[in-house]
Amino acid sequence: MYNEEYVMLSGELFSSLFPLGVPRSSFIVVCGDEGSGKSLFLVAMVKSLLLSGEPVLYVSVDDDPATVAHQFSSLGVNVLEFVKRGTFFIVDGFSYRVREEKRRRMHVSVIGHIEPQNIRMAIDLLLKILEENGFNGRGALVIDSLNEFLSYNTVDEVVEGVKDLRANVSKARAVLVIASLHTTTPQAKDLLQSISHFVDGVIYMERRVEGEKPVFRVFVRRLKGAVHNLKWVEFYLGEDKELRIARG
């Protein structure tokens, strides 16, 4: 049974960050420099969603789908189980770079392909897949990341794409959208500044090294309509493959 208004995320870290859940109609941007733990954070969120029965459409732009599946296995998730249940799908936004004679379906979870050069066509395909697979008032759309769209489009064009996704997915369908953004280039920083005032949530990520173990920290700058932690929270990947709060 789905909560009509909120998505509950299990686990020590998410319970601390979002004690009462995340509004379903949210568009959230997870941002930070390279290596700050954004993909780890996203994969852990997806893991929580899948284990609770929520379907997930994962747009793989930064890596090929097989690598994404491996990232999930590093957190103890066999995505094939959820593919069989019809709750996990990948849209491949990576393979457009592969030469035509080598292009193929890179993983069994792949349900479609997009090319970041054409934001309009990419959004139309995502909406079609969401509709065909019953993403209405349930599930999440995850985009990792927005940066590739900036390689071919202006900041203003990507801003319009974000607005369209927020309107048609988060608001019209009540489907949670989570998108990562690597803020290592001037264009990415301009994009974050341009969208931060209208998206529903902005989450900052940082990383530091403590001995041989990386420790990440996260700050929920804002999340409309939700109670959330107002402080930086440090966390690490535990031996049990769960995100654990680092206690000083």
Q: What is the pTM of this model?
A: 0.94
For residue 209, list its beta bridge partners.
Answer: 214
Cis before 196 (ω within 30): no
pLDDT in tens, 53-74: 999 999 999 999 999 999 999 9
Tell me, yes or no, whether 30 lies in a domain.
yes
Cα dihedral: 3, 44, 146, 88 (round 10): -60
Amino acid 213: pLDDT:
74
How confident is the model over 212-245, as pLDDT tens digits? 777 899 999 999 999 999 999 999 999 999 999 9
In sign, the C-alpha dihedral spanning 109, 113, 119, 124 is negative
Query: Is residue 221 a part of any domain in this protein?
Result: yes
Domain annotation covers residue 1: no
* Domain interval for residue 13: 6-245
CATH of the domain at 109: 3.40.50.300
Kindly provide the b/e burial profile for residues 37-55, where b requires at least 16 CB atoms within 10 angstroms of the residue's own CB.
bbbbbbbbbbbbbbeeebb
Question: How far are the Cα atoms of 44, 104, 159 from residue 163, in angstroms, in the given order?
Answer: 26, 31, 6
pLDDT lower than 70: segments of the chain: 1-3, 99-105, 210-211, 248
**Number of domains into which the chain is organized:** 1
